[in-house]
Amino acid sequence: QQQVKQSPQSLIVQKGGISIINCAYENTAFDYFPWYQQFPGKGPALLIAIRPDVSEKKEGRFTISFNKSAKQFSLHIMDSQPGDSATYFCAAISPYFGNEKLTFGTGTRLTIIP
């Protein structure tokens, strides 16, 4: 129940295209869903996050879509650029689940090609 399943494991998108990464969860007590971006040799950094009371959140070229009934959420990167090449992690947390720590997906390595 604590798992967050992320797909695909790797993704190649042409410059200017849309990158889409999907995550699914089981624990309905999760109430905060962040996405982290990690460049090679660096630590992850928070990119964008959503709570389940909204179905979409947009920040610049990055959008999270959230489907509460399906227990799925996804990251869309519009007009993908080579600088977006990184590993992306979805995550989830519930402050009511007991030990209150983030559960991470396994990551998606995104490569944007010219």
Partner 1 sequence: DGGITQSPKYLFRKEGQNVTLSCEQNLNHDAMYWYRQDPGQGLRLIYYSQIVNDFQKGDIAEGYSVSREKKESFPLTVTSAQKNPTAFYLCASSIAQGAGELFFGEGSRLTVL
Footprint of partner 1 on this chain (CB under 8 A)? 6, 9, 32, 34, 36, 41-46, 49, 89, 91, 93, 95, 99-102, 104-107
Alpha-carbon span 21 to 27, nearest angstrom: 20
- Output 73 or 107, the one with its CB closest to partner 1: 107
DSSP state of 78: S
- Output 24 or 49, the one with its CB closest to partner 1: 49
Report phi then psi at 42, rounded to 5.
Answer: -120, 165
Minimum Å gap between C-beta 31 and partner 1 is 9
- Output 30 or 74, the one with its CB closest to partner 1: 30
CA 35 to chain centre: 4
Alpha-carbon span 99 to 101, nearest angstrom: 6
Minimum Å gap between C-beta 6 and partner 1 is 8
